[in-house]
Amino acid sequence: MAQRKRESGGSASELTRLSLLTAMALIIFIVEQQVPFPLPIPGAKLGLANIITVYAVNRCRSGGVLLLVLARIFLGSLFGGAFLSPAMIFSLAGGLLCLAGMLPLRKILDEKHIWLGSIFGAVLHNTGQIIAAVFVMKTAAVIGYYPFLLVIGCIAGAFTGLTAQIIINRLK
Amino acid sequence: MNKKKAQTALMIAAAAIFAAAAAVSVYQLRRTKPNTVKIISDGKVLYTLDLSRESDREIIVEYEGRRNVIVIENHDIYVREADCPDHTCIKMGKLSQSSTQIVCLPNKLMIRRAYSSEESGTDGTA
Ligand SMILES: [Zn+2]
């Protein structure tokens, strides 16, 4: 069977695609920041920008995806006035751990199971957030939020992953 | 096929993580809550309060010039004002109704119940 194609073509076209994806991820990220999440749990959100990340994971090379995620986190917190704040450190730790799981998983998962990779991405994102929070808050007590974040993360990850999966399969 | 097996295993793993997280969440929400509450700022315990004995008052905690105004009222505790950008700590409302603890991440503030299993002597303020 043919693998999902991951264009390795011209670096200029790859760069254009990445900047477009970054712009989209940023817009989603910033709009989502304006809409408060209904549950008062710090760090909990739908993470709609993850749709773009999952798309990129399945369509771009690893280096490109890493660039995309880093750009979204740095520019997103710069625009949101949270540059170098704890929130940015949590995003960074979560985002990197999430990629460390989703990038290898794309080799195992076929185009009907992209949502599954997204769930693991979300779980790893929450794990990274909590580890960073333990260090920033200087107390292990924040681990109390971990199970709540995981429940929300699994649901949100499945939702954003399924959305990305539908887009990826339509744009074949 | 090997790939199919791996996918099934991953699906079971995801379901297990979700079920375990949900179970622990429910347990945390339902276990009996002690009256003793700790106010922790930047990893240091500033106050240890027995809410059942506290009378109504206000506590102001500062971290790097940013303030959180904590209110003790009717043996309950909440954050009324805060300089943080997200105000999650205020939205979390009273501790009695909060999931586990009140946290202000930007100001590194935390108001949590002292569960006896975690009462190791490392942070004892009499
Ligand atoms: Zn706050």
User: What pLDDT digit, counting tens, does each position of A65-111 carry?
Assistant: 999 999 999 999 898 777 888 889 999 999 999 999 999 999 999 99
> Cβ contacts (< 8 Å) between B115 and chain A: which residues?
none
Q: What is the DSSP letter of B107?
A: T
The predicted complex's ipTM stands at 0.89
- Chosen for mutation from A35, A130, A142, A165 (greatest number of chain B CBs closer than 10 Å) is A142
> Cβ contacts (< 8 Å) between B103 and chain A: which residues?
42, 137, 142, 145
Which structural domain range is residue A139 located in? 11-33+43-167
Cβ-defined contacts of B82-87 (< 8 Å, 24+)? B82/B107, B83/B107, B85/A81, B85/A82, B85/A85, B86/A42, B86/A87
CATH of the domain at A152: 1.10.1760
Residue A153 and residue A46: Cα distance in Å, rounded? 8
| Coil/strand/helix, residue B62 | strand
The predicted-structure confidence for A27-77, as pLDDT tens digits, reads as follows 999 898 888 788 878 778 899 999 999 999 999 999 999 999 999 999 998
The amino acid present at B16, given as its one-letter code, is A
Residue A119 forms part of a structural domain: yes
Residue recorded with tokens 């990197």: A96
B15 CA to chain A: closest CA distance, Å?
A: 9
Residue A37 and residue A46: Cα distance in Å, rounded? 8
Residue A2 forms part of a structural domain: no
> Cβ contacts (< 8 Å) between B105 and chain A: which residues?
42-43, 86-87, 90, 133, 136-137
Tally: H helices and E strands in chain A: 6, 0
Dihedral angle computed from the Cα positions of residues B108, B89, B122 and B48, in that order, rounded to the nearest 10 degrees: 130
The answer to which of A48-52, A101-105, B42-46, B84-88 has the lowest mean pLDDT is B84-88
Nearest residue, CB atoms, B22 vs list A82, A85, A151: A151
Residue A92 forms part of a structural domain: yes
Q: What is the per-residue burial (b if ≥16 Cβ within 10 Å, else e) of B40-79?
A: bbbbebebebebeebeeeeeebebeebebebebeeebbbb
Q: What is the DSSP letter of B35?
A: S
Q: How many domains does chain A have?
A: 1
Nearest residue, CB atoms, B92 vs list A40, A81, A144: A40
